[in-house]
């Protein structure tokens, strides 16, 4: 039977992983795909680098755009990364040439997914992207196919392994963020410039994709609320444990009567909940469908093996001519959903203050909270240090984000408050 001929643009960790996996599982993949799946062409910046896989029999393209136009390529696999530049040019060239397109590029899809979907439909080709979110976890297939009969009301997950690893080590070893980050960089879990991960951007790209699929909506990436983990301290994690919570960086998308809420931020999760138990570099996603009920998926979110596995799963589908609309429905059917502002968010909050230990401070703080309509569930203060800085933790009852922010702005003005108050949202999950 005629093989499916694959061109790979980008030979980093994942690209090499795809080449290696297709060779190692050649017979199994052919049986499951109904025909051989073979790499015929590749493109990368460095032609002479030893990547540990055999490439000498493949067509080498200096320019990845020409690979996308190669007549001996049926499917283009883009593993370059980034929302703009070469990755976007390869996607557009492949679609224009009438070739199916497979990518692990979450930034590209989060920013340009609707436009690429429209072009793909016009050219009668498919965009497959299982590897773009949560590595080896089949969450795209779960949303596009397994839950296709459901109205999905909520998606929540740990979408970045680097942040989850850092927060796990901080909790287990009582160390601060900057110290653990250095270890993560040395071990290869964090990049030399870690901002994309630790500032929440990577998780936000993935959440935008999941939300678009879950809600059948065009998601404007710039409307997501995005916070990272730089301000989480060892003392926050210790207090969280005392209160029965674990701190996780979560991506949360919810459909409400007012529209769609989209946010990435650290959150306190009850320690008995499944998502709170996901540690290290693992990812997890909770999907809530109206007929399916909650569906919980957990696994490795990155790395050569899991991500290559997801890419090849897409190739097997394409070899079988299994084609699903990019966003689970035609692009013209996608909704322009209103985005709910963060100020309208409701929930409970963990607030940590660093104050001078002196009479009247707590009374001043609680008076401000009272004036903004915020009531307290509990308060923690350990020990006394008259005249010195001490931490005070306040846990609110359910309230509104706008009220909390206004109260914290007033609290920060108190002479006895030594640094900006810390806020962490409490998620029931």
Task: Out of 206, 248, 273, 413, pick the active-site residue.
Answer: 206
Task: Please count the residues of the chain.
Answer: 429
∠ CA 111-115-117, nearest 5°, is: 105
* Contact indicator for 13, 304 with CB cutoff of 8 Å: yes
Considering only CA atoms, which of 154, 167, 158 is closest in space to residue 137? 158
| Whether residue 206 lies in the annotated active site | yes
∠ CA 36-56-7, nearest 5°, is: 45
Strands lying side by side in the sheet with 59-60: 59-60, 37-43, 4-9, 75-78, 100-103, 127-128
CA-CA distance, 136 to 310, in Å (whole number)? Answer: 6
Tokens for 37? 């799946």
Q: Work out the number of other CB atoms within 10 angstroms of the CB of residue 366.
A: 16
DSSP string, 319-376: HTT----TTSS-GGG-B-PPBPPGGG-EEEEEEEEEEE--TTHHHHHHHHHHHTT--E
CA-CA distance, 116 to 88, in Å (whole number)? Answer: 9
Q: For helices 85-96 and 106-122, what crossing angle results, to 10°?
A: 20
Catalytic residue list: 206
């Amino acid at each position: 039977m005629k093989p499916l001929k694959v061109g790979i643009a980008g030979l980093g960790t994942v690209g090499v992983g795809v080449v290696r996996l297709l060779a190692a599982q050649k017979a199994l993949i052919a049986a499951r795909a109904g025909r051989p799946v073979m790499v015929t062409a590749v493109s990368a910046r460095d032609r002479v680098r030893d990547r540990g896989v055999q490439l000498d029999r493949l067509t080498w393209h200096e320019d990845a755009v020409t690979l996308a136009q190669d007549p001996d390529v049926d499917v283009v696999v883009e593993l370059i990364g980034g929302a703009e530049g070469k990755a976007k040019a390869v996607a557009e060239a492949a679609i224009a040439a009438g070739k199916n397109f497979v990518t692990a590029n979450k930034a590209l899809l989060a920013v340009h997914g609707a436009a690429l979907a429209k072009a793909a439909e016009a050219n009668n080709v498919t965009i497959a992207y299982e590897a773009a979110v949560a590595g080896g976890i089949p969450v795209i297939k779960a949303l596009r196919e397994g839950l296709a009969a459901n109205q999905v009301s909520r998606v929540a997950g740990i979408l970045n392994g680097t942040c989850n690893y850092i927060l796990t080590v901080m909790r287990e070893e009582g160390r601060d963020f900057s110290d653990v980050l250095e270890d993560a960089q040395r071990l290869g879990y964090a990049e030399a410039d870690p901002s994309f991960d630790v500032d929440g951007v990577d998780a936000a790209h993935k959440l935008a994709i999941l939300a678009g699929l879950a809600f059948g909506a065009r998601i404007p990436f710039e409307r997501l609320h995005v916070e990272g983990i730089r301000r989480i301290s060892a003392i926050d994690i210790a207090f969280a444990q005392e209160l029965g919570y674990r701190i996780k960086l979560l991506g949360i998308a919810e459909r409400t009567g007012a529209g769609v809420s989209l946010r990435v931020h650290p959150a306190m999760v009850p320690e008995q909940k499944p998502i709170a138990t996901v540690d290290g570099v693992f990812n997890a996603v909770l999907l809530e469908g109206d007929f399916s009920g909650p569906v919980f998926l957990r696994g490795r979110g990155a790395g050569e093996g899991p991500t290559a596995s997801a890419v090849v799963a897409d190739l097997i589908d394409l070899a079988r001519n299994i084609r699903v609309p990019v966003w689970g429905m035609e692009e013209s059917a996608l909704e322009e959903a209103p985005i709910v502002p963060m100020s309208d968010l409701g929930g409970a909050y963990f607030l940590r203050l660093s104050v001078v230990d002196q009479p009247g401070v707590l009374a001043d703080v609680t008076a401000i909270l009272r004036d903004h309509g915020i009531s307290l569930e509990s308060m923690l203060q350990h020990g006394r240090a008259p005249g010195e800085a001490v931490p005070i933790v306040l846990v609110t009852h359910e309230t509104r984000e706008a009220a909390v922010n206004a109260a914290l702005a007033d609290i920060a003005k108190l002479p006895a408050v030594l640094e900006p108050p810390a806020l962490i949202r409490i998620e029931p999950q």
